[in-house]
Amino acid sequence: MKILLVDDSKTMRTIQKSILTQMGHTEIEEAVDGVDALSKVGSFKPELLLVDWNMPKMDGLTFVKEYRAMDTSTPIIMVTTEAEKSRVIDAIKAGVNNYVVKPFTPDVLSQRIEETMTKAAA
Amino acid sequence: MEQSHILAFIKSTRNVFETMLQLSVEVGTPVLSTVPDSSFDVSAIIGMSGDLDGSVVLSFRRETAMRLVSIFCGTEVADDAEDLIDAVGELANMITGGAKAQLDGKKVTISCPSVVIGAQHSVHGSKDLVRMSIPCSYDCGEFTVEVAVRPSSASSQDQTVISSAEAA
């Protein structure tokens, strides 16, 4: 499964990539912000996106809205420090399928990914 | 600043360390910070705005930061490397974000982190902001979370100035 990691923090991309690799995923692309992600989705064609919220140039919410204008079905999980209910609602309205709050354990992220993909396949 | 604000940062610091790093953090008694500490070598600064204005500064001595970041990243990191800056910034981001989420009913936006690396620097904020310094320690050393927040005032602006001990 092709997965696009969108986070301005290289540390967080490294941690998420490590978790994904341990889950058996090897086709992983990285983007440093929403603009970078938009430039990569066309050629990479991800089957799952993990997206941070607070990023320079283009934040995660704006990216999700722009991406959803092109693709309404590919699952998106927001991985972010934004934990308030209002923010979660905003993300879901924008088209996010699931939500992981930082800090997270590897188990939480992997469970959320499996749950998202199971729902998407149903 | 309310006691609940400080408690939110204490709880969030512990949560970040335990969840992401599997490290237990001992938190000391928060103290009023009247003179900026100039013993730090690495600081991550995050601004807050909205219902609360202010800043949060996470500060380490160099050796402590290097050990912590190595644990966080899972590899040894080079001194002054981009990885060190990124990891310290992300820790500050998570601590501040986690504290923000506990501030019931408050709409607060946090900035992307800025990271300062320089031997024995100090971080100065607005003189009209009360700054509370939360001393913390873990297996590999000590660090400080300094919180300076207040209910929003539309007429005031927070200015953060960094100075080195050598220039002072």
A84 touches chain B (CB under 8 A): yes
Radius of gyration (C-alpha) of chain B in whole angstroms: 15
Domain total in chain A: 1
Chain B interface test: which of A9, A59, A100, A104 (most B C-beta within 10 Å): A9
Distance from CA of A42 to the nearest CA of B (A): 28
Structure confidence at residue B91 (pLDDT) = 94
Summarize the confidence of residues B11-20 as an average pLDDT.
94
Measured in degrees and rounded to the nearest 5, phi and psi for residue B69 equal -65, -35
CA atoms within 13 A on the CB side of B150: 13
| Cα–Cα distance, A61 to A51 (Å, whole number) | 9
> What pTM did the predictor assign?
0.87
Q: Could you tell me whether strands A3-6 and A28-31 are parallel, antiparallel, or unpaired per DSSP bridges? A: parallel
* Sign of the torsion angle spanned by Cα atoms B152, B88, B14, B40: negative
Summarize the confidence of residues B42-48 as an average pLDDT.
94
Domain contains A63: yes
Q: Which residues in chain B touch residue A89, judged by CB atoms under 8 angstroms apart?
A: none
Structure confidence at residue B167 (pLDDT) = 41
Domain segments of chain B as ranges: 3-164
B87 touches chain A (CB under 8 A): yes
DSSP three-state, residue B154: coil
Q: For residue B161, is pLDDT > 90?
A: no
Structure confidence at residue B154 (pLDDT) = 52
Distance from CA of B35 to the nearest CA of A (A): 31
**In chain B, beta strands by DSSP E:** 26-27, 31-32, 40-50, 52-60, 108-110, 114-124, 132-138, 141-151, 161-164
CATH number at residue A34: 3.40.50.2300
Q: Which residues in chain B touch residue A90, judged by CB atoms under 8 angstroms apart?
A: none
Structure confidence at residue B155 (pLDDT) = 39
Q: How confident is the model at residue B162 (pLDDT cuts 50, 70, 90)?
A: low
And the tokens for A111? Answer: 């469970």
For residue range B56-99, list pLDDT tens digits in order.
999 999 889 988 888 888 877 766 578 889 999 999 999 999 99
For residue range A27-42, list pLDDT tens digits in order.
999 999 999 999 999 9
A85 touches chain B (CB under 8 A): no
Radius of gyration (C-alpha) of chain A in whole angstroms: 13
Q: For residue B158, is pLDDT > 90?
A: no
Q: For residue A82, is pLDDT > 60?
A: yes
B147: closest CA among B103, B117, B86? B103
Percent of chain B with pLDDT over 70: 86
CB nearest B19 (choices: A18, A80, A104)? A104
**What's the residue count for chain A?**
122
Tell me the residue range of the domain where A13 lies.
Answer: 3-117
Q: Does domain B3-164 have CATH number 3.40.1550.10?
A: yes
Domain contains A122: no
Summarize the confidence of residues B122-149 as an average pLDDT.
87
B76 touches chain A (CB under 8 A): no
